Chains A and B, each alone.
Chain A
Amino acid sequence: MKRFLGFLLVGIMTVSLFGGYVQSASKWAPEREIEFVVPSSPGGGSDLNARTIADLAQKNKFSPYALMVVNKPGGSGAVSFAYMNTKKGDSHTLMVLHSGQAIGSYVNNWNVKVSDLTYIGTVAFDELTLGVKKDGKYKDIKSLLAAVKRQPRSIKIGGSQRGNSDHLSFELINKYTGSEFTYVMFNSSGEVMSALLGGHVDVGIFNPMECIGQVAAGEVIPIVTFAKNRLTGLFKDAPTFAEIGYEEIQVTEVRAIAGPPNMPAAAVEFYEDMLRKITETDEWKQNYIEKNLLVNNYLNAADTKEYHEKMIDVNIKTFKEVGYLK
């Protein structure tokens, strides 16, 4: 077994040697493997996002060293934020930043806020939808709203985690439709799907990519989306909230990348560039964006910062209005 381990090590070293990358003399580039933190369990939207980026960076040699994806779930993302805070000034640690966590760091008052981290870039926008089971009691949004008006707190909506966009979209429904739904928090969208299919909750909040397999099979019906415009493909029959008369209910999630506090500017520049190149590849557009019904929208570090600050303001206001925040 020892000899085998030896071979394995030599093999790994050889492979990493062949990651031939010509380093230009002036610009900074990573000097070792980059730790790429995912603040949630494997298999979710953030995880897929990170793994796609890591894969494309390696395949296209956009980075001389591999991005090693590490899952650090817990506390709706607070654990990863705290971890990033221990890496102050480090150039070899990145994190997938989902708008849910950016908001959550303020709404749930974590020790480390998103503004402590270094914004690097935005890679995609993601929509949200409500899904019901095909043989469930409710088949469309209107009957769902009517039912909850008749019997408040009788309908359970499952979402993953709290103080994030799943939770926000739930609060927005309650607020603007004047209904009283119940929110059930799960740890991941996979758990929400299990609970929905098992009949333990009535409605699930999903990103399109999190439920597309079930939608394609007809097991889950998307009844409404939180998008600005109607989605296409399998989701084309689901109206937006604006279409049914609730213009205020609109939520879009952002998938961005952040570094630890005080990440050196040269490193930020390198990763900005890497992300831009990745989002321009055909494979990214076809195999990631299109397949998962995302919107391709690259933003650089400065724009990402501005976008997030605006978004956080709006969210804090909403959570305050609904009384979740004091």
Chain B
Amino acid sequence: MENLQLLWMGLETACSLPNLISAIFGAIIGLVVGAMPGIGSLSGVALLLPLTFKMNPTTAIIGLAALYYSNMYGGSFSAILLNIPGDSPAVMTALDGYPLARSGRAGAALSTAICSSFIGGTIGIIILTISGPILAKWGLAFGPAELTLLILFAMTSIGWLLGENPSAGLVATAIGVMLATIGVDRCLGQERFSFGSVNLFSGVSFIPLVIGMFGFSQVIDMVVNRITYSNTEIQKVTLKQSMLKGKELKGITPTAIRTGLIGTIVGVMPGAGATAASFISYIMEKRINKNREQIGKGALEGVAAAEAANNAAAAGAFAPLLTLGIPGGGTTAVLLGGLMMWGLRPGPLLFKENPDFVWGLISSMYIGNIICLLISFACIPLMMKVVKVPSAVMVPVISVVCVIGTYTVNNNMFDVYLMIVMGILAYFMKIAKIPAAPLLLAFVLTPMFESYVRQAFDISDGSFGIFVGSNISKTLLALTVLFCLAPVVMGFIKKEKTSVDSAAIEN
């Protein structure tokens, strides 16, 4: 009850004019930044932070927080329309969003992304309001050993669950792992596979990789196969048509609620973040959703799972930041720096010492989410124009976006060449029917995995016992084994069945 009163008090703070303007401003910038490939929430928040120093801390954090979560909305736009995930949490969105857009259902995909972002985000904020401090404490139970197993669980599932051919998925995963080991080792500072090149010294950057593998390979595909958008002529896109039908809404709502819950929990864990959240949720939906056969080929549920989860994770990430003063990921770490610079002392006393600030922020997130919802819907007609652009124009435009998006990250031409090479690699992978998504996800997860494993072994003095040391570890380990064995067993059963079937046909 006390929380509700404080929330109400915070709502008054959040509704003051400067704070509302700040939230709207943050939401718009976040959408733009999210939709632009190459710039994510991290650089968005970092760029705007210095501008907020003269502001009242509450107004400042409301704006920056809005930027952070609305970025998750924006990230889905380019993923769906151009097949270029703007930031790593949107990778899973592209898997279903782009096929949907190609089959003329871009409007539905966008609406799904927006609606489920809203649902996921709201679930995250509600959980944050009710049980933020408890949740943050619970998140601490995830130490290096538990996080190692969580990542391992995620990594073992990718190969099997994406694409029709599990061995192709494994190949992609292995390539991703290998690419991730290039550069200075995070544990001892030793160089690996950099061949003396300064550009490879810090490893392969994520942005060139993702833009190349998704966006640029798409360009090659369009040119080589002379792909034109079918049915764009007849498709008359209006906002009204983009709205989801009752049945579709009914289909994605349970998905969004489920993945919203998971996303929040993953978001609270130290270091796991929105990428891992969208990813774990997607894999879960691929297993349990009614429409699981279609997920990965262009299902609204797939978009819903990824988007609800990454928005929920963005909200969940605020729990450790506000209650313990510990950042869960890159963007919240910048916000932590912001708190210090605004003269606040992040830590367990923040709720007591600055209730206006904390509850003002939490309340503003409810409002901010509604603002994001409205602005995003208002953008749909504008974005739908992208779908109508003929391929002859689209190809050069996407190419330019790919090059600029890559170059802006580090102002380095090497990244652009890398992006092109990755695009070509991805194109051949596509021909060989090797899915690109497992590669990217393995690439994102491997460095985390390596750090956590090293820490776990440091703690246990080299003993494997640490990985069965807690109930969380045991559960995760059991799930991993289950996920590894299930496809093998299922495949065996299926094989038996099909061999009987084909025998029947031959006869």
Q: Are A74 and B184 in contact (CB under 8 A)?
A: yes
Main secondary structure, interface of B, reads helix
Q: Mark A99-142, 1 if CB is under 8 A from B, else 0.
A: 00000100010110000000000000000000000000000000
- Asked if residues A201 and B459 are in contact (CB atoms below 8 Å), the reply is yes
Restricting to B304-360, which residues have a CB under 8 Å from any CB of A? 320, 324-327, 330, 332-334, 336-337, 340-341, 343, 345-350
How far apart sit A191 and B333, CA to CA, in the bound complex (Å)? 11
B44 to chain A, nearest CB (A): 12
- A30-48: CB near B (< 8 Å → 1, else 0) gives 0000000000011110011
Measured as residues with beta carbon below 8 angstroms from the partner, the interface class of chain A is 35 or more
Within 8 A of A (CB), among B56-92: none
Give CA–CA (A291, B345) in the complex, Å: 9
The 0/1 profile, CB within 8 Å of B marked 1, for residues 47-86 of chain A is: 1100110110011000000100101101110110011011
Question: Shortest beta-carbon distance, B482 to chain A, in Å?
Answer: 26
Residues on the A chain within 8 Å of B341, using CB: 48, 51-52, 55
**Cα-based distance from A194 to B336 in the complex (angstroms):** 14
Closest to A196 in B: B140
Contact B343 A82, beta carbon cutoff 8 Å: no
State which of A74, A198, A219 has its C-beta within 8 Å of the C-beta of B141. A198
- The distance from the CB of B213 to the nearest CB of chain A, in whole angstroms, is 22
Q: Which of A75, A187, A198, A214 contacts B142 (CB 8 A)?
A: A198
8 Å CB contact of A74 from B32, B183, B350: B183
Give the residue among A44, A85, A153, A214 with the most B Cβ atoms within 10 A: A214
CB contacts (< 8 Å) of B345 on chain A: these are 212-213, 216
Interface string of B182-211 (1 = CB under 8 A from A): 011111110100000010011100000000
Within 8 A of B (CB), among A181-196: 182-188, 190-191, 193-195
Could you tell me if A43 and B327 are in contact, using CB atoms closer than 8 angstroms? yes
Supposing A43-B327, A200-B459, A216-B345 touch, asked if A194 and B189 sit within 8 A by C-beta, the answer is no
Contact A58 B50 (CB under 8 A): yes
Given contacts A156-B458, A163-B189, A184-B455, contact A47 B337 (CB under 8 A): yes
What's the minimum C-beta distance from A228 to chain B, rounded to whole angstroms? Answer: 26
Complex interface: chain A residues within 8 A of B459 (CB): 156, 182, 184, 200-201
Question: Is the pair A198, B327 in contact by a Cβ cutoff of 8 Å?
Answer: no
Q: A74-B202, A185-B187 are in contact. Are A48 and B340 (CB under 8 A)?
A: yes
**CB proximity of B104 to chain A, nearest CB, Å:** 23
Query: Closest B-chain residue to A287, C-beta based?
Result: B343
Q: Which of A6-49 contact B (CB under 8 A)?
A: 8, 41-44, 47-48
Q: Is the CB of A197 within 8 A of B144?
A: no
The interface residues of chain A lying within 8 Å CB-to-CB of B141 are 198
> A85 with B198: in contact, given A1-B379, A43-B336 (CB under 8 Å)?
yes
CB of B269, distance to nearest CB on chain A (Å): 9
Query: What CA separation (Å) do A217 and B324 show in the bound complex?
Result: 10
Is A98 at the interface (CB under 8 A from chain B)? no
Which of B145, B325, B346 has its CB near the most chain A CB atoms (within 10 A)?
B325
Is A162's CB within 8 Å of the partner chain B?
yes
B382 (CB) vs chain A CBs: closest residue? A1
CB pair B142 A42 closer than 8 Å: no
Inter-chain contact B46/A197, CB cutoff 8 Å: no
Taking the nearest CB of chain B, how far is it from the CB of A289, in angstroms?
13
Q: Which residues of B contact A104 (CB under 8 A)?
A: 189
The reply to whether B270 and A194 contact each other, CB–CB distance below 8 Å, is yes
Instruction: Flag whether B454 is at the interface (Cβ < 8 A).
Output: yes
Q: Is B461 among interface residues, defined by CB-CB distance under 8 A? A: yes
Instruction: Check if B349 sits within 8 Å of A216, measured CB to CB.
Output: yes
B53 interface residue (CB < 8 Å to A): yes
Query: Does residue B401 face the partner (Cβ distance < 8 Å to A)?
Result: no
Whether, in the assembled complex, A244 has its beta carbon less than 8 Å from a beta carbon of chain B, the answer is no
Contact A190-B333, Cβ < 8 Å, known A55-B341, A214-B348:
yes
Question: Given the known A-B contacts A54-B50, A182-B461, A194-B270, are A48 and B337 also in contact in the complex, defined by CB atoms under 8 Å?
Answer: yes
**Chain B residues, CB < 8 A from A69:** 46, 50
Asked if B28 is an interface residue, CB under 8 A from chain A, the answer is yes
Name the contact of B202 in the complex, choosing from A44, A83, A198 (C-beta under 8 A): A83
Docked-complex contact B198 and A82, CB < 8 angstroms: yes
Of chain B, the residue at the smallest CB distance from A202 is B459
Q: Which residues of A contact B325 (CB under 8 A)?
A: 193, 213-214
Cβ of B451 within 8 Å of any chain A Cβ, yes or no, is yes
Residues of B within 8 A of A111 (CB): 191
A-B contact pairs, 25 of them (CB 8 A): A42-B330, A42-B337, A47-B333, A75-B189, A82-B198, A83-B202, A111-B191, A153-B461, A162-B187, A162-B189, A163-B189, A182-B461, A184-B455, A185-B455, A187-B451, A190-B336, A195-B144, A201-B459, A213-B345, A213-B346, A214-B324, A217-B348, A219-B347, A219-B348, A291-B343
Can you list the 6 inter-chain pairs with the closest CB atoms, starting with the nearest?
A213-B347, A43-B333, A75-B184, A200-B143, A198-B140, A217-B348
